[in-house]
């Protein structure tokens, strides 16, 4: 980094990491980041870490693989025992389509070649008008593997 440069603002670059550290450039701010970083300082996301929570389900793309976590999603409440029976879709999912208040995705079932198309509700919490004690809740999704964003 001894090169002379006429660029203004060069002196602002106080942080310079070790020589030879693998770098990649950010497509949004054109800044240089460490190659292992998943997130640029400007907020650009390079990739999602495995098992990290999907913060914004509307950002999901066709073919992304996520996991739906048990203990979330819609449930039926037994008023006598106060037990919740979860009615959501759980396990590994491959995104097929994003809709207004949820996701259409193929549920990956082990030992079968046929994936079942499911609807994963991701909208606001509400109470069902059709079924008593049925509470409609959004699912919680995590990234199943490193998914590169384009
Ligand atoms: Zn950036």
Q: Give the Å distance between the CA of 93 and the centre of ligand 1.
A: 30
pLDDT at position 9 is 46
How far, in Å, is the centroid of ligand 1 from the Cα of 38? 11
Non-local (6+) Cβ contacts of 25 within 8 A are: 31, 32, 33
Separation CA 37–CA 139 (nearest Å): 28
pLDDT in tens, 93-103: 999 999 999 99
Residue 14 DSSP class: -
The reported pTM is: 0.68
Distance from the CA of 53 to the center of ligand 1, in angstroms?
A: 21
What separation in Å is there between the alpha carbon of 13 and the centre of ligand 1?
14
Distance 23 CA to ligand 1 centre (A): 12
From ligand 1's centre to the CA of 3, what distance in Å?
23
Q: And the tokens for 79? A: 């008023």
Q: For residue range 45-80, what is the model confidence (pLDDT) as tens digits?
A: 888 877 889 989 999 999 999 999 999 999 999 999
Q: Are 135 and 127 in contact (CB under 8 A)?
A: yes
């Amino acid at each position: 980094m001894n090169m002379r440069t006429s660029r203004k603002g060069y002196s602002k670059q106080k942080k310079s990491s070790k020589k030879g550290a693998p770098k990649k450039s950010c497509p949004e701010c054109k800044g240089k980041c460490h190659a292992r970083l998943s997130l640029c300082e400007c907020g650009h996301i390079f990739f999602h870490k495995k098992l990290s929570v999907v913060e914004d389900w509307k950002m999901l793309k066709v073919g992304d693989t996520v996991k739906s976590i048990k203990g979330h999603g819609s449930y039926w409440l037994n008023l006598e025992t106060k037990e919740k029976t979860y009615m959501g879709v759980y396990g590994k999912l491959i995104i097929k389509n994003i809709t207004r208040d949820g996701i259409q995705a193929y549920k990956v079932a082990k030992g079968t070649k046929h994936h079942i198309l499911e609807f994963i509700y991701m909208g606001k919490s509400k109470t069902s008008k059709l079924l008593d004690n049925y509470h409609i809740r959004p699912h919680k999704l995590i990234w199943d593997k490193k998914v590169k964003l384009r």
